[in-house]
A and B are shown apart, each in its own frame.
Chain A
Amino acid sequence: MSAVNEDISGRLVTGRHPADAPGEAEVLAALVARAASGEQAAWGELVGRYARRVYALAKSRLHDPDQAEEVAQSVFASVFQHVSSGRYAERGQFEPWLFRVTMNRVRDEVRRRSRRPGLTLVRESDALHEAPGESETDEIHRLRDAVASLGEADQEIIGLRHHAGLEFRAIAEMLGEPVGTLLARHHRALHKLRAILGSAASAAGARHE
């Protein structure tokens, strides 16, 4: 565990995304303030920075491009209303707040689907097992299926860390859990992914033989 902590701690210090680099937090705060004052260009910049990350997070959980885009649109509509009306007070928490809103929307959608299990099965099976496109490599396809087969908590940490591109510190703020707990959960999720991909590769090898 200490190795993981050291490893992740290194990334926490160096930062992976603009908002985590020194000075970038202030830049983001200023951008949100400009957006709150009604500046159109600031909103365009915020959408440019985050819309695809929101989309990727939603897609990782919903496995449906159309619904992922709908979630992205509704998330930004909600963010726009809160920031424009002054209900959001900028305290350097924009990213965790944005992705918390996203996760809530995604959970709502998952719950809605669970009430209509027929729809869930059809859509997920369509999305997960559709034939890979010309640009879709088999590896990406297998990895996507493997992530989708993880439990909800594991999918959540993988989605927030990789698809949303959040640092563990931001995830901890967002979920209200200690960083160490999240690091351990992430490590276990990676281990499970390796196991799933390894067993899938073994099965594929056996079929070829």
Chain B
Amino acid sequence: MSNHDKHHHEDMEMEHRLASLADRERSEPDAGFEARVEHAMRAEPFRRVPGRRPKKSTAWIPFVTAACVGIMGYIVWMPMMNRPVVKDTAPASVADAGLGAFDAELMLSSFDAMDTLVAEGEDVGESLEYLELQLELDGYESGSWLELGGAL
């Protein structure tokens, strides 16, 4: 047998085997196959007509998903619910910023309180001016705060 004839024979043999496989595949569907195809063909819109291999039910998926979400929510939120509630976070943050109690109070004061503080500051300023005037009138010259206090 020549090489050509051998290849030809092998090709024919393989084609025969493939034809057997194809016949097997075509005869695989059951007798109701054509009826299901015709039924699905006319369905508008297309809906698959279940055959002899019913798909496994997927009805459990929404329930399991909801349960998983609930469990996750419980795991995430319960520790947050048990944590002590911290109120008045602003002063804490001010304290964290390293400011003194007076500064913190000042920052949180109302406008009226601010006005009072400013007014008091003006009074102090007037007092100092008065004291300065008195010292000039009396002609005191002092070298230290101690002498000045004694003179007054």
Interface secondary structure of B, over-half rule? helix
For window 1-59 of chain B, which residues contact chain A by CB distance below 8 Å? 4, 7-8, 10-11, 14-15, 17-22, 24-29, 33-34, 36-38, 40-43, 46, 48-49, 51, 53, 55
Residues of A within 8 A of B42 (CB): 80
Task: Say whether B21 contacts A162, CB under 8 Å.
Answer: yes
Determine the distance from Cα of A33 to Cα of B43 in the docked complex, in whole angstroms. Answer: 21
Residue on B with the closest CB to A80? B41
Determine the distance from Cα of A56 to Cα of B33 in the docked complex, in whole angstroms. Answer: 12
Interface secondary structure of A, over-half rule? helix
Annotate A1-13 by CB proximity to B: 1 below 8 A, 0 otherwise. Answer: 0011001000000
Residues of A within 8 A of B26 (CB): 52-53, 55-56, 163
Residue on B with the closest CB to A66? B53
Residue on A with the closest CB to B5? A3
Bin the interface of chain B by size: 20 to 34
Determine the distance from Cα of A35 to Cα of B36 in the docked complex, in whole angstroms. Answer: 18
Asked whether A140 and B41 contact (CB < 8 A) given A7-B11, A55-B26, A59-B28, the answer is no
**A43-51, A114-122, A200-208 - interface stretch:** A43-51
Task: Say whether A69 contacts B10, CB under 8 Å.
Answer: no
- From A60, A65, A162, A165, residue with most partner B Cβ within 10 Å: A162
Does residue A143 face the partner (Cβ distance < 8 Å to B)? yes
Task: Say whether A77 contacts B40, CB under 8 Å.
Answer: yes
- From A51, A139, A187, A193, residue with most partner B Cβ within 10 Å: A51
Residues of B within 8 A of A66 (CB): 51, 53, 55
Task: Say whether B25 contacts A4, CB under 8 Å.
Answer: no
Residue on B with the closest CB to A187? B11
Asked whether A74 and B24 contact (CB < 8 A) given A43-B38, A51-B37, the answer is no
Q: Which of A47, A48, A70 contacts B41 (CB 8 A)?
A: A47
Residues of B within 8 A of A77 (CB): 40-41, 43, 46
Residue on B with the closest CB to A54? B37
For window 141-173 of chain A, which residues contact chain B by CB distance below 8 Å? 143-144, 147, 158, 161-163, 165
Q: Which of B19, B41, B55 contacts A73 (CB 8 A)?
A: B41
Task: Say whether A165 contacts B22, CB under 8 Å.
Answer: yes
Determine the distance from Cα of A53 to Cα of B41 in the docked complex, in whole angstroms. Answer: 16
Residues of B within 8 A of A7 (CB): 8, 11
Task: Say whether A47 contacts B37, CB under 8 Å.
Answer: yes
Residues of B within 8 A of A165 (CB): 22
Q: Which of B4, B19, B36, B46 contacts A162 (CB 8 A)?
A: B19
Task: Say whether B11 contacts A4, CB under 8 Å.
Answer: yes
For window 165-209 of chain A, which residues contact chain B by CB distance below 8 Å? 165, 187, 190, 193-194
Residues of A within 8 A of B4 (CB): 3
Task: Say whether A73 contacts B53, CB under 8 Å.
Answer: no
A sample of 7 cross-chain residue pairs with beta-carbon separation below 8 angstroms, ordered by A number, consists of: A47-B41, A73-B48, A140-B21, A144-B21, A162-B15, A162-B18, A162-B21
Q: Given A47-B34, A56-B22, 5 more contacts at CB 8 Å?
A: A52-B26, A55-B33, A65-B53, A69-B33, A143-B21
